[in-house]
Structure 1
Amino acid sequence: MQDEVIVVEVPAIEEAANPENDAVAAEFEEVKADVAAGREPSRSVRELLRWFGARRRRGGVVERIEAELEAAGLRTDPHFTTTWIDAPVIFKKREAQAPAADAAPVVAPQPGADAVEAAKQADVAELTHLVRMLEAANREVISVNPQDPIERAVTLMLAYDFSQLAVMTSPRDLKGAISWKSIGSRLSQRNALTNVSDAMEKATEVSDADSLFEVTKTIIQRDFVFVRAADRKITGIVTATDLSEQFQGLSEPFLLLGRIENQIRRLIQDVFDVDTLRAACDDNDPDRKAAVTKASQLTFGEYQRIFEKEENWAQLGFVACRKTFCKELDEVRKLRNEIMHFHPDVIEDGDFEQLRRFSRLLEQLDQLAG
């Protein structure tokens, strides 16, 4: 009989059975009690995830949390899927029925727009790449006043290793920006620089609710943008370097996943016939099933179905544990789904190691089988 891969689900909060889970349940109960008493407690998104035994906002986790909040009559503001993982969200009472105006589709404002539309609860799953989800958009803004001596700006940029600073008179009043570039351009024309205003340039700002993809071009063109929140405060500066680091963090897992898929294809392409490949496909899609003729046409989940069958594993001739292999493969599949959805939550070192380890395993099995 074919062995089955065991999938362990994280229990809901009410099912907590050990002291650690009891403590987590108590934290959630405390929040519910505060809201019932008319208060609006806040917790970080990371803390909310911890209550559910999660580190990132993967699909299944988001669904469980949303269901638990709904059952408790709660919501978060902003929604926990649309803000930085270490930013606080406020727990509020969920309205019994949303106003009719909320039924309109959520449209992200254009970069620099003053107003920030409130996200409808049912639509939040679509808002997965907002500016405010970046750490840089939530970092303390170091600023100078227009009347400050130019030496103060220079000193701060040297001390913090910044290329630019905000020029502000209050947390909400952004007057402009000063940068090494603006200072250099003024000096090149032999302008006298006494105060910050002498080297100040126009500042480009975006809303924290803007789509990250929509403002990427602006950030690249302008080198940096200031982020304004719904309460009008300037909450951070996102630079082209921040974008580079964000995309660099995604490049390694994409490359590792590509290598893993190629390694899997090499393992199975000359071993199984077309009928075996098609047997891994969904019976509910007969047209696609009939079109499959080679391993490269299969999805990751279909690769998994091939390895799970005991007769297929025996045909591969590996002297290895099929259950362990399939468990590792399933972990890679879950990571792949998260990575392909490009969520700004940081991929941690342990996850990188999971991909590297499985790639090494595939390489060694390929060498031993050859």
Structure 2
Amino acid sequence: MSTFTRSGEHEAWHASRAEFRYRRPMQSSGGRTDTERESLLRKASAGETVKLEVKKLLELWGAERRSPDVVRQIRSDLHHRNLTTEPPFTEVWIGSEVSLVPRPAGEAPPEPADGDEDEEYDLPTASSLQIKALPQANKHVECVHVDVPIPNVVTTMTHSDYSQLGVIDGDGRLIGAISERSIAQAAVRGSLGTVKEAYDDTIRHLRPEALLFDVEGEIRSTGFGIVCSPDGRPCGIITSADLAEEFASRLFPLMTIESIELRVRKRVLSRFTREQLQAANAIPKHRNSSDVPTLGAYRRLLDGAHWAKLDWRISKSYFLKMIKKTTDMRNHLAHFSPDPPNESELTEVTRFEATLRKLT
């Protein structure tokens, strides 16, 4: 059985997730999107209430996910209008709503939007990602009241393919969970009347602001965690299966990127001396002999006469374009951004790796 989530709803969630994970970015160049963006910014600057989903905010800037350049550009444009978002649009799920609000006095200006692709940026890292940034933390939780008869609970769980249900009090606040295991334990005790006699009241509320890193072990040990708003009402669920899927969705792209980096590195190190790499600013001159170029450095090194030394029978422009895409994806994944890479980009990078595999 699935945990909390009906199989049909699970499939629908995947479809909706894929819709804005894989959709190509909108182009914003003086058209209706620009006009709508300017209109909303003017309203917010004038003190009007402006609320919109993060994915809509990104669309207004011609983007579909929170890449470093997109984040810097949005922050810069909002800063110039003396605006920011509440909560920060980098910290919540892409489907969450944020408000355009006045920028706090004294807030430092954002970094320029044309930074180096190798530099650090402040999207969530694996250790700083908050629970609320995951889509599962913003999904409906099926719950029952403590006075519901156990046969009704079993019927709901069987019909809907749930293995657990949240348990709430008369005010709709979470007080625990009832599961196949807790029902079986109640049956051993001979108590099978209502939910009150069979639910587990030790289930801890997960705060949306809690770090995923801090609660990951608890979720794995219990099989699930229920996310609650400050007033104690269930607002989302995260299961151990959800965690496994989130981590696995980033594993294949990282393995592909690692293969690309290793193949390019091996070729470059076989064709260039350390002194040549230092002279081309591909590696620092003050570090030890084990230094190797970064992905971004390969673009700098090979975007010129040095390309011929590589002696690869592929287009130079294609190689440089794909190294840039690979670098962007690596940065995106390494910082555990809440928005996965889109399918078209992942397909391109995967094909690039296959091309390099044939050459090496």
Bucket of the pairwise TM-score, normalised by the shorter protein: 0.7 to 0.9
Once superposed, what is the RMSD of the aligned Cα atoms? 2.7
**Structure 1 position 201 matched with structure 2 position 200:** yes
- Residue 99 of structure 2, aligned match among 72, 90, 100: 90
- Residue 360 of structure 1, aligned match among 343, 347, 354: 354
**Structure 1 position 345 matched with structure 2 position 342:** no
State percent identity of aligned pairs: 29
Q: CA deviation at 1:316?
A: 2.6
Cα distance change of structure 1 residues 35 and 349 upon mapping to structure 2, 3 Å threshold = same
With structure 1 as the length reference, what TM-score do the two structures score?
0.78
Report if the CA contact (8 A) 1:249-1:347 is conserved: no
Aligned to 2:297: 302
Cα distance change of structure 1 residues 11 and 346 upon mapping to structure 2, 3 Å threshold = closer
Report if the CA contact (8 A) 1:46-1:85 is conserved: yes
Aligned to 1:66: 75
Q: CA deviation at 1:332?
A: 0.9
CA distance in 2, matches of 1:301, 1:124: 19
Aligned residue pair count = 320
| Secondary structure at the counterpart of residue 327 of structure 2 | helix
Of 69-78 and 152-161, the range deviating more from structure 2: 152-161
With structure 2 as the length reference, what TM-score do the two structures score?
0.80
Q: CA deviation at 1:274?
A: 2.6
Cα distance change of structure 1 residues 161 and 43 upon mapping to structure 2, 3 Å threshold = same
Report if the CA contact (8 A) 1:139-1:235 is conserved: yes
Amino acid at match of 1:303: Y
| Secondary structure at the counterpart of residue 69 of structure 1 | helix
Cα distance change of structure 1 residues 61 and 225 upon mapping to structure 2, 3 Å threshold = same
CA deviation digits over 1:17-52, x for unaligned, max 9? 3xxxx2112222332344355432211101111111
Aligned to 2:129: 129
Aligned to 1:235: 235
CA distance in 2, matches of 1:171, 1:251: 42
CA distance in 1, matches of 2:50, 2:153: 38
CA deviation digits over 1:37-84, x for unaligned, max 9? 543221110111111122221222111111111222322221101100
CA distance in 2, matches of 1:152, 1:33: 53
CA distance in 1, matches of 2:75, 2:57: 11
Cα distance change of structure 1 residues 124 and 158 upon mapping to structure 2, 3 Å threshold = farther
Q: Which runs of 5+ in 2 are unaligned?
A: 1-24, 108-120
Report if the CA contact (8 A) 2:130-2:208 is conserved: yes
Q: Which runs of 5+ in 1 are unaligned?
A: 1-9, 99-122
Deviation >4 Å, runs of 4+: 10-13, 123-128
Amino acid at match of 1:365: L
Greater relative CO, 1 or 2 (CA 8 Å, sep 6+): 2
- Residue 289 of structure 2, aligned match among 289, 292, 295: 292
Report if the CA contact (8 A) 1:292-1:298 is conserved: no
**Structure 1 position 25 matched with structure 2 position 41:** no
Cα distance change of structure 1 residues 36 and 330 upon mapping to structure 2, 3 Å threshold = closer
**Structure 1 position 316 matched with structure 2 position 317:** no
